[in-house]
Amino acid sequence: MAEKVFITCAVTGSAKMPAHPNFPFRPDHVANEALAAADAGATIIHLHVRHPETGEPSQSLEDYREVVGLIRAKNDAVILNVTTGPGCTWMQSADDPAVCGPGTLMFTAERRLEHILDLKPDICTLDICTMQLWGGVAINLDPMITRMGHMIQDAGVLPEIECFEAGDFVFADDLMAKGALPKGAPFSFVLGTKYGLPATPEAMMYAKNQIPRGARWTGFGVSRHSFPMAAQAVLLGGNVRVGFEDTVYLRKGRQAKDNADLVRWGVDIIDRLGGDVASIGETRAMLGLRE
Amino acid sequence: MAEKVFITCAVTGSAKMPAHPNFPFRPDHVANEALAAADAGATIIHLHVRHPETGEPSQSLEDYREVVGLIRAKNDAVILNVTTGPGCTWMQSADDPAVCGPGTLMFTAERRLEHILDLKPDICTLDICTMQLWGGVAINLDPMITRMGHMIQDAGVLPEIECFEAGDFVFADDLMAKGALPKGAPFSFVLGTKYGLPATPEAMMYAKNQIPRGARWTGFGVSRHSFPMAAQAVLLGGNVRVGFEDTVYLRKGRQAKDNADLVRWGVDIIDRLGGDVASIGETRAMLGLRE
Amino acid sequence: MAEKVFITCAVTGSAKMPAHPNFPFRPDHVANEALAAADAGATIIHLHVRHPETGEPSQSLEDYREVVGLIRAKNDAVILNVTTGPGCTWMQSADDPAVCGPGTLMFTAERRLEHILDLKPDICTLDICTMQLWGGVAINLDPMITRMGHMIQDAGVLPEIECFEAGDFVFADDLMAKGALPKGAPFSFVLGTKYGLPATPEAMMYAKNQIPRGARWTGFGVSRHSFPMAAQAVLLGGNVRVGFEDTVYLRKGRQAKDNADLVRWGVDIIDRLGGDVASIGETRAMLGLRE
Amino acid sequence: MAEKVFITCAVTGSAKMPAHPNFPFRPDHVANEALAAADAGATIIHLHVRHPETGEPSQSLEDYREVVGLIRAKNDAVILNVTTGPGCTWMQSADDPAVCGPGTLMFTAERRLEHILDLKPDICTLDICTMQLWGGVAINLDPMITRMGHMIQDAGVLPEIECFEAGDFVFADDLMAKGALPKGAPFSFVLGTKYGLPATPEAMMYAKNQIPRGARWTGFGVSRHSFPMAAQAVLLGGNVRVGFEDTVYLRKGRQAKDNADLVRWGVDIIDRLGGDVASIGETRAMLGLRE
């Protein structure tokens, strides 16, 4: 176990919204959830944005600007970790397996990073997986990721390497070796997607053993695996992510009221396992981020 | 994770008593701690006995009879798991490495099982380790363990196989193959002793992979490893043990008031990881014990 | 270690041909290499076909018929394992990330299985991976694989499940659960591709622990990992694949003369590790294939 | 895999001699076996001595001097690794479990190291296990090992840490932390004893993950596990030990003619796995030994 454990709260995500009365999608609601999550102990807020009226996932620069602005107006200390995930989804058409169908959303590197270059958050995610995901294909090939990696570094933003699969660790090594990713970048293990690394202790231990010695990492499981995998990450010396992006349940049959509720559940697990939740300053130090 | 997780409370042990105002050693105190632990959610009580006045570890049949009687007078449902550990400690003399010195306590099989054959508890532990332990040697060689294994089975008591080391799983296989242990016996992994398997996720996972498919098991860590390893056991599909035998702390800097306090902390961890604590009936069913 | 180890020889593959004077691509040459490999100890021949004049990978039914016919004319005992891999390659265009570019070869299920339904070999491979591969994307989504799995079973052919990634084992479980793959199907672990599971002992051990208990499996590494991973498979209780599809080297600096040379090197490793090479009859029994 | 793999040959051991026409026990025979093993590729000779007439294990200084002298007379380059194992065997008496019986051989640190301090070989082994072994107990407690560790270092000899059990790695950490063992000492994993770590890929991988990063290690299995575990060690980046101490068989049903025969079998495995056997100079460099 690490001496200090930091908590990321992923407040809204970009999947289909679950049926929950308090699921945030309007900018002020997302910002308020983020602020409350920070008050509850999360030192990193992982952000996606949604259409202010429909809740559909958005990739609009204006929506990112608004949410970030609302958070920063009230809290300029909490660490912002903004997604670059949207724009790598390819759905196979029913007619021709080589051609994409409805639901496809594929962006260029420039389009995927537009809001990052504009807003320069502390951290942005970088999904490096190519895999079956959500019924389609997540496509993140070497040329695209290499380009994005350089652009992110040039912007002075810290990329968090999102690994969904065993091969992603080999890819990350190659990317680091050619400078497309910085050597000290933190990792995130996304466990339990269909079909990537499963949400099991074995898979998380395998993942932990693949990253560079000393690298910081967060391990989490999707859906019902959220809190078991949070505990597993703590036990293996990693950090924790919770939030409505992953689940709206504290445990089976018990819905969380809001993101802060999930954060408190995570804080409690860390406490009961004997760990200490990192402050914002401690989290920045762990990640090499400037204050 | 298993659907149901049972909790064993080890209320007093036989190590040197820690400085704790409520550490139980008098028979009525031990019994009351056991009863309160059961009320708090433990379905198995693991029992050692101590001298009623000094608190020194006892191996007296009368002391076992008294504590068991006091518990059974008020609770005939909770499962009793009585130790057979005392009597395998060999301390090396300073003068001649072949000769034992002060602190040695070596019993015959008959003497080690005297109270088990008399009281016939639901379960008794069977330490099968030979190793450096507590500055001396725990000696449990094949002839002794084979004899004890048969005597325990003949008495209709279920042995819980206590494994402290990697080789113990090989030994257990051989013991089962020759009938000295029953095929379906539960295992207990004792992690973090000096010097046995360490209290790490890797060691517990290794241990879990060595036992017969489908065997029930409990994994625990000594001292500060108690609750981290309890959580790890839950995540790996095992069961939980807590109690003053292992630690008097809930976490660093926070002492437990009593055994029930530790049980509640364990119940809480199980709950937060999404597990359900097994009832006494469910525990009996899991272990193949009669009601 | 398993008592018996069977050897598959993958005689030509469908990658770009390496510079080797004896690399087979003409039908008679491929067939002769297969026959010699069988004489050297391979009991399963894994077949791709190539254009008879250019050596480019072929997916022509006629080419499959010719090679299979030439083998069967001289050896009706050796087990034939024919690929269904070609037709899942999607290369990203430089202009629009959603659109495929040169090198793409995507088939329907019917087209991918045309030769299998015609020739009904003992075994056909079924790649179930979706991943970055060879600079592009291997796309094998659930609807396609489900359809292929049923068609293969209906044809009375045994599918060998090719797993390149950790998520493939989760996918295989789901496919078996819904009947798209038979419960007893053998697995193949393809290690060391860019970017899938690496060719390491850790990855092969992880893979082995994910498949159904008792399932037969073959583990192999690409390129320079071929023989180290063959040995690792033997040590872990699996089976061996060698052949020019994977490497033309026996070891660094030492080229194999032909496929049989690689088979003999594999036989020798099995022998030196104390294993016994399975006969054709023993291989059929291990896989549940009729004589 | 490591670039270079060194081979230790354990030429005679101190167990009961197997029925083999060429098993060496007379000093000149042991020395000749050692010299031939070195010629065959072993760069380290692991030495025990036996009574020149009966073949019973000897702990006589004169016997050590004679064998070492005979080897050094003809080969002053090969690395000598001399045992300190004899003198830690405790057999339980049938009458009183606290008292030792026939077969016990327990020495003081001074007696166990007499020949090491006299002969100052390059390396001596240091068994740090306390465990059930050969029907008795191997006893190597902290005070004894701490004392031996300091004496070995003071004599300018490199200790090789023999680990038989999972707890031995924890013990080694503590010994290094207090200076009783040098930080860069090599490790040896002894797998497959009854009852220590089993001779499995899982156990060797577990062991490898417990030692300090960068430490050199040799992994071997006893009896029929000798060559499978030699291969496993090569695949995991370790080094190889073979020799009549471990087995007189190349594989089931095929006896080795002599130690050199076993060394050649090991050389062959390393070659077939793509490794290169280290020269004496390379082995000295790997271990930090002076030329």
pLDDT digits (tens, 9 = 90+) for B21-45: 999 999 999 999 999 999 999 999 9
Per-chain mean pLDDT for chain A: 97
Structural contact between residues D45 and D34, judged by C-beta atoms closer than 8 angstroms = yes
CB B202 within 8 A of CB B240: no
Q: What is the DSSP letter of A225?
A: G
Cα distance between residue B178 and residue B146, in whole Å: 9
Paired residues of C158 in beta bridges: C123
Nearest to B131 among D143, D167, D209 (CB): D167
Structure tokens at C232: 């690792």
CA A277-D177-D87 angle, 5° bins: 135
What confidence tier does C115 reach under pLDDT thresholds 50, 70, 90? very high
**Does the beta-carbon distance from A272 to B1 stay under 8 Å?**
no
CA distances from B115 to B49, B88, D67 (A): 11, 16, 56
DSSP 8-state secondary structure symbol assigned to residue D199? S
Query: What does DSSP assign to residue A35?
Result: H
CB C123 within 8 A of CB C79: yes
Tokens of B240: 């939980």
What Cα–Cα distance (Å) separates residue A189 from each residue in A141, C84, D164, D175? 19, 32, 34, 36
Is-contact C247 C253, C-beta < 8 A? no
C194: chain A residues, CB-CB within 8 Å: 167, 170-171, 174
pLDDT at res. A93: 97
- For chain A, report the end-to-end CA distance as a whole number of angstroms: 25
Flag whether residue A182 sits within 8 Å of chain C, measured between CB atoms.
no
Q: Which of C140, C149, C32 is nearest to C86 (CA)?
A: C140
Q: Note whether D271 contacts C252, CB cutoff 8 Å.
A: no
Both structure tokens of D140: 């190597």
Q: What is the pLDDT of residues D40-80, one digit of tens each?
A: 999 999 999 999 999 999 999 999 999 999 999 999 999 99
Closest Cα in chain B to D111 = B97
Alpha helices, DSSP H, located in chain A: 27-40, 61-74, 109-119, 142-154, 166-177, 201-208, 226-235, 259-272, 280-287
Q: Is-cis flag, bond preceding A195, omega within 30?
A: yes
Asked if A223 reaches chain C (Cβ–Cβ under 8 Å), the answer is no
The tens digit of pLDDT for each residue in D197-210 reads 999 999 999 999 99
Closest residue in A to C136 (Cα) is A141
pLDDT recorded at residue D3:
81
Rounded CA separation C156/C145 (Å): 17
Q: How far apart are CA D133 and CA D15, in angstroms?
A: 12
Count how many Cα atoms sit within 13 Å of the Cα of residue C76 in the half-sphere of its side chain: 3
Given an 8 Å threshold on Cβ–Cβ distance, is B201 in contact with A235?
yes
- Asked if residue B165 belongs to a domain, the reply is yes
Q: Check if the beta carbon of residue C66 is closer than 8 Å to that of residue C28.
A: no
Place of tokens 């000290």: A184
Rounded alpha-carbon distances, angstroms, from residue D55 to A59, D30, D51: 82, 11, 5
Q: Are B181 and B148 in contact (CB under 8 A)?
A: no
Whether C139 contacts chain A with CB within 8 A:
yes
Q: What is the mean pLDDT of residues B219-241?
A: 98
Query: Which chain B residues touch A269 with a CB distance below 8 Å?
Result: 231, 269, 272-273
* D171's tokens: 């013990």
Residues of B within 8 A of A201 (CB-CB) are: 201, 205, 232, 235-236
Looking up tokens 């939980």 gives B240
Positions of chain A with pLDDT under 50: none
Residue C168 inside a domain? The answer is yes
Burial degree of C268 (CB within 10 A; 0-12, 13-18, 19+): middle
How far is C33 from C24, CA to CA, in rounded Å?
7
Which residue is it, tokens 């690395």? D79
Asked whether residue A2 is domain-assigned, the answer is no
Do the chains contact at C132 and A144, CB–CB below 8 Å?
no
- Largest Cα separation within chain C, whole Å, is 55
| Range of the structural domain that residue A264 is part of | 7-287
The reported pLDDT for the residue numbered D290 is 87
Axis-axis angle for helices B226-235, B201-208 (nearest 10): 40
Q: The domain spanning residue B179 has which CATH number?
A: 3.20.20.70
Name the band, by pLDDT with cuts 50, 70 and 90, for residue B222: very high
The SS3 call for residue A138 is strand
- Span between the terminal Cα atoms of chain B, in Å: 25
* D95 burial level (CB within 10 Å; 0-12, 13-18, 19+): exposed
Condensed to tens digits (0 to 9), the pLDDT of residues C275-291 reads 999 999 999 999 999 87
A101 interfaces chain B, CB cutoff of 8 Å: no
pLDDT level of residue C136 (50, 70, 90 thresholds)? very high
Q: Chain C contact for D228, CB < 8 A?
A: yes
The verdict on a CB contact (< 8 Å) between B166 and D198 is yes
CA distance C266 to C43: 12
Torsion region of D251: left, alpha or beta (phi above 0 gives left; psi -120 to 50 gives alpha):
beta
B13, amino acid identity:
G
Identity of the residue numbered B257: K
For residue D150, what are the CA distances in angstroms to A49, C13, C86, D154, D185?
A: 64, 59, 64, 6, 13
Q: How many CB atoms lie within 10 A of CB A253?
A: 7
- What's the rounded Cα separation, in Å, for the pair C154 and C145? 14
What average pLDDT does the segment C198-218 reach?
Answer: 97
Q: How close does chain A come to C120, measured CA to CA in Å?
A: 25
Specify if B110 maps to a domain: yes
Smallest CA-to-CA distance from C225 within C270, C262, C192 is with C192
Q: Do the domain assignments include residue A135?
A: yes
CA atoms within 13 A on the CB side of C244: 30
CA-nearest residue of chain C to D275? C251
Task: Read off the DSSP letter of residue C46.
Answer: E
Question: Is D228 within 8 Å of C273 when comparing Cβ atoms?
Answer: yes
B1 within domain boundaries: no
Q: Classify residue B102 as exposed, middle or buried by CB count within 10 Å of its CB (0-12, 13-18, 19+).
A: exposed
CB pairs under 8 A between B and D: 122
d(CA C49, CA C82): 9
Distance of residue D251 Cα from the nearest chain C Cα, in angstroms:
5
How high is the pLDDT of residue D53? 95
Measured between beta carbons, the chain D residues lying within 8 angstroms of B86 are none
> What number is the average pLDDT over the span B260-286?
98
Answer whether D166 touches C (CB < 8 Å): no
Locate the chain B residue with the closest alpha carbon to A224. Answer: B274
Alpha-carbon distance of C252 to D275, in angstroms, equals 9
Task: Give the C-alpha separation, B176 to A260, whole Å.
Answer: 51
How confident is the model over D165-170, as a mean pLDDT?
98
Q: Cβ–Cβ contacts within 10 Å for residue C69, how many?
A: 12
Q: What are the Cα distances from residue A51, in Å, to A21, A26, A30?
A: 17, 7, 11
Rg (C-alpha) for chain B, rounded Å, is 18
Transcribe B212-248 into DSSP letters. Answer: PTT--EEEEESGGGHHHHHHHHHHTT-BEEESTTT-S
Mean pLDDT confidence for B131-144: 98
Comparing CB atoms, the residue among A144, A170, A195 nearest residue C198 is: A170
With H, G, I as helix, E, B as strand and everything else as coil, classify residue A121. Answer: coil
The sign of the CA dihedral B249, B255, B260, B263 is negative
Interchain CB distance below 8 Å, A272 and B227: yes
**Shortest CA gap A218–chain B (Å):** 17
Chain D contact set for B98 (CB, 8 A): 90, 100, 104, 106
Angle between helices C226-235 and D226-235 (to 10 degrees): 140
Query: Which pLDDT value is given to residue D169?
Result: 98
Tell me, what's the pLDDT at B199?
A: 98
Residues of chain A with pLDDT > 90, as a percent, come to: 98
Cα–Cα dist D164/D189, whole Å: 6
Whether D1 maps to a domain, the answer reads: no
Q: Binning pLDDT at 50, 70 and 90, where does residue C1 land? A: confident
| DSSP label of C17 | P
The enclosing H or E element of C106 equals strand C105-106
ipTM topping 0.90: yes
How long is chain C? 291
**Number of domains into which chain D is organized:** 1
The interaxial angle of helices A166-177 and A201-208, nearest 10 deg, is 10
In three-state secondary structure terms, A19 is: coil
Q: Please judge whether A167 and C196 are an interchain contact, meaning their C-beta atoms are less than 8 angstroms apart.
A: yes
Report the pLDDT averaged over residues B73-79: 98
Predicted local distance difference test score (pLDDT) of residue C286: 97
